[in-house]
Structure 1
Amino acid sequence: MKKTFEADVVVVGGGPAGIIAAIAAGRQGARTVLIERYGFLGGMSTAALVYPWMTFHTEAGEQVIRGIPQELVDRLIACGGSPGHLRDTVGFVSTVTPYHPELFKVTAIDMLMEAGVKLLLHSFVDDVEVREGRIRSVTLTGKSGRIQVQGSMFVDTSGDADVASLSGAPTRIGRDGDRLTQPMTMKFRMRGVDLGAVKRAMIDNPDNFYRKTPFADLERIPLTGIQGFYAEWKAANLPINRDQVLLFAGPAEDEVLVNCTRVQGLDGTDVEDLTKAEEEGRRQVLMMAEFLQKSVPGFSRASISAVGAQIGIRESRRIDGLYSLTIDDVVSGRKFPDAIARSGYPVDIHDPSGKGVKAAWIGGDGAYDIPYGCLVAKGIDNLLAAGRCISTTHEALATTRLTPSCMATGQAAGTAAALAALQGTSAAEVDANRLRECLRKDGAVV
């Protein structure tokens, strides 16, 4: 016999979007369950070592993501788990937010418990029961066998739109035409790095680094990111299809996160493709570490200290919702009457088949709106999405996929799910004005 749980709101996926969604729903008074397949929380931020969080601000420095995501950062600052928002020394965005992944995992659990959320780890959703256009339950597989979780509202924060796909809701993947997605990256950390030597190399040879690097300020601000070492990378001629080295400093003083491997042409929702990606990504990690040790200043005594538990996935399946955010919406800084989140992160498309990254910046006041329709799935009355699998085009996903934006949509989806569950309405029937009022009350910027 299956064990059964009942809830008002069921959130599937314990990454940053799911954590914030569950906290938001619980705080609204909804009985909330959060389901996560790993034995720890954090999603890409922990399992795949995605670091740091980019960005809570516009290019001009206006903070447009607050609410529960900022509360999480404040809690991390208080326990020594983050220095807060720091200047981005790559220069791509205004700020980045470093954090300690282990302290993040525990802080997230603390906040979930305070909100009264029931947490089910080591639980993989593999079946969704749908009746008359509504999800009745999801079935989990785990150590204790099959578990059924019944709910009034469901929030898909799986990153891969797993619940939407299993429910029969329409989904999309990759770019139109060839369905190719942005490449996957196996991230890893190295300790024993002389970051002083790295900074000196940047100051002494600015032409070897990204043009927007704030060279004039490097002597007085902490080093948070490095993009460049173009000459060293070109000379090495490694079989990795990218055009530069990208590193992020911390969280320790002698530590960096290496974001350089690139695995292309594989589908993050296909188990055979994922197997190939994990194999290729880990081979590239060893290749990259050897290159850094031999060729890059500051790395001669460095060594690998951690590799992601899984490969990082930038793009996979997403819902086809009531509205799909477009590249024009983003670069024009479009405002929507049903806006439930804002973002100042630029468009950042890692080429699905080539070496480069295509970037585009946001016009207007430097931020664009994400409308509520991007969270509402078609065909299933009680399903919302948040995080990487909201409804966008391939190009627009290249900004909404970043963690602070995922957190912001998580707060909106969790709040909307609680309102719908407690009022007995569908996702589409949630009053956007009421939702926006609730979000503002809880500190969000809409």
Structure 2
Amino acid sequence: MGYDTKYDVIVCGGGTSGVAAAIASARNGAKTLLIERTGVLGGQMSLSGPPGFAYARLFNSQGKRDVGGIVEETYQRLLKSGHALPEWRSPIREKAAYTFSYIDPDWWVALVFEMMEEEGVELLLDTLVVGVEKDGDTVTGVAVENANGRNTIHGQVVVDCTGEGYVSMQAGAETACVDRDTIQPHTLAFTVDGVDWDKLLTYIRTNPDQFSFKQLIFPYENANTREEVEEYYRKCYDIKELGEIMGFYELRDMALKNGDWHPYSGAGFFLTPKEGGHIQAHFQHSSQVDHAVPTDAWDLTRCNIECRKQNMIAWRFFKNYVPGFEHAYITRTCTELRLREGPRIVGEYVLTRDDVADCRQFPDTIGKSSFKAGGYHVAAMDTLAVCHTGKNDMAFPKDGGSYDIPYRCLLPKKIENLLAAGKCVSTDRPAYLRYLHQTMVTGQAAGTAAALSVKKGVTPRALQADIKELQENLVGQGAILFETR
């Protein structure tokens, strides 16, 4: 059987950004290949997590939707087929820009495979990109290794959706990353079923002071007070209203005193829907104490080992201390670390903390977001490593609004015919775009730009001269660029 070795667009990495990039590229007429090193698409929606929870940030704190396109399309398709729950947008959640659109992660993966077939995207799974072919500073293809050995595949435009910028680094692009001692801890998630939610909710209603409210209290004029949030917990009879549950402070301290807990992180979990409205608990608990950089396989190995140990500590705590978990059981452990921080390209523009804080708009916008800058510190406050306590880089979009993501953040300096999407786009550390909706927004834009570049016979960098054509194309795909809705 013969295989193609020439494509218009090659997307490297089949996670959330890669899925969006490949769909967008093919929809715009490009012969598209998506290469993924594992046998499944979806990344954080399938392999690392928190699957099903990440559709929580599609609105800003003014209650306006600022994310659309392929993100919204996949949600609506799953909602129609009964594999997603309606958006939960209570007043107390809207103020925090934390509404929930639960989806079943396994059905999401099935859907994206279906969409690949619908759009004519060719897949090459179980394949690792091990090098980049170049002519001077121009990328011409990639070298891959798989069961067929080592081969070269040529492409007019390559899109790096590896998350950690591996392809960009192989191409010689400049990247930035903090060191081993500073990098945010990674996690290895696991999912639990059999929880007695009524029993747990009884504990929550009678002990509202035992839970973290940072997710619901934002520094806006109309923000919820702690008293309002505690009252919200006292009256909660439906577990789906919570989305996530963090805290259990007295129980955790008791376990720590008894030697049944470790001092490295807090206790909590997200909620994940299954078919028929069934809810499971999804833990993103464990954190690597001896930090790991994603560019070192030895580091990642140590992190995997340590995270599995800490998972078992966390699980024994919930089984033995937390009401409602007496008969619960683990249904799966994710197969990959959730790499919370890694290299970012240095692009034509570096999105900054101040851009986020000022809700800055850009003439070359390719999408919006309203999530805070410095999210790695927020995550560390309760549920990850207690060694990360700094808050100096924290910033919230002013007035609860949204900020633009400029096209230039997808363009590595000096390297031609290469685009980046997902976590590795060009930002400073506080403005790091690592959440699902952000990765899919940049993925859809990169895939569309790659296809347009091929169609017009120009480099992605030269496409900036026709940025309005790219923007009109994205708006036509349902993306939100200029006005929130």
User: TM-score, normalising length from structure 2?
Assistant: 0.86
Identity of aligned residues (%): 33
Offset from partner CA, 1:206-261 (integer Å, 9 cap, x none): 11112335436623672422122122222222225223423324336352001211
Q: Paired residue for 1:12? A: 12
Q: Paired residue for 1:239? A: 262
Q: Which amino acid aligns with 1:429?
A: A
User: Residue 225 of structure 1: which of 237, 244, 249 is its match?
Assistant: 244
Aligned residues: 441
CA distance in 2 between counterparts of 1:88 and 1:256 reads: 21
User: Residue 285 of structure 1: which of 291, 305, 311 is its match?
Assistant: 311
Q: Which amino acid aligns with 1:222?
A: K
Q: Which amino acid aligns with 1:153?
A: V
Q: Supply the RMSD in Å over aligned alpha carbons.
A: 2.2
Offset from partner CA, 1:306-337 (integer Å, 9 cap, x none): 10101111111111111111111112211111
Distance 1:128 1:216, change over 3 A: same
In terms of fraction of residues, the more strand-rich structure is 1
CA distance in 2 between counterparts of 1:274 and 1:300 reads: 33
Q: Paired residue for 2:64? A: 62
Alignment of 1:84-233 (within 5 A): 84-87=86-89, 93-174=97-178, 180-211=182-213, 212=216, 213=229, 214-215=232-233, 218-219=236-237, 222-223=240-241, 224-233=243-252
CA distance in 1 between counterparts of 2:200 and 2:135 reads: 59
Q: Within the alignment, does 1:257 sit opposite 2:282 as a pair? A: yes
Aligned 8 A contact 1:195 1:254 in 2: no
Aligned 8 A contact 2:71 2:441 in 1: yes
- Of 33-42 and 420-429, deviating more is 420-429
Distance 1:357 1:138, change over 3 A: same
Q: Which amino acid aligns with 2:100?
A: V
Alignment of 1:370-389 (within 5 A): 370-389=405-424
Q: Which amino acid aligns with 2:233?
A: F
Distance 1:228 1:345, change over 3 A: same
SS at match of 1:86: coil
Offset from partner CA, 1:357-397 (integer Å, 9 cap, x none): 85542214521111111111112111111111101111111
Offset from partner CA, 1:121-152 (integer Å, 9 cap, x none): 11110011111211111011111222322111
Aligned 8 A contact 1:48 1:308 in 2: yes
Q: Which runs of 5+ in 2 are unaligned?
A: 217-228
Q: Within the alignment, does 1:323 sit opposite 2:349 as a pair? A: yes
Distance 1:89 1:141, change over 3 A: farther
Distance 1:124 1:276, change over 3 A: same
CA distance in 2 between counterparts of 1:301 and 1:93 reads: 34
Offset from partner CA, 1:382-430 (integer Å, 9 cap, x none): 1111111101111111xx2100111111111111111111111111111
Shift of 1:344: 1.8
SS at match of 1:19: helix
Q: Paired residue for 1:422? A: 455
Q: Paired residue for 2:363? A: 337
CA distance in 1 between counterparts of 2:132 and 2:235 reads: 53
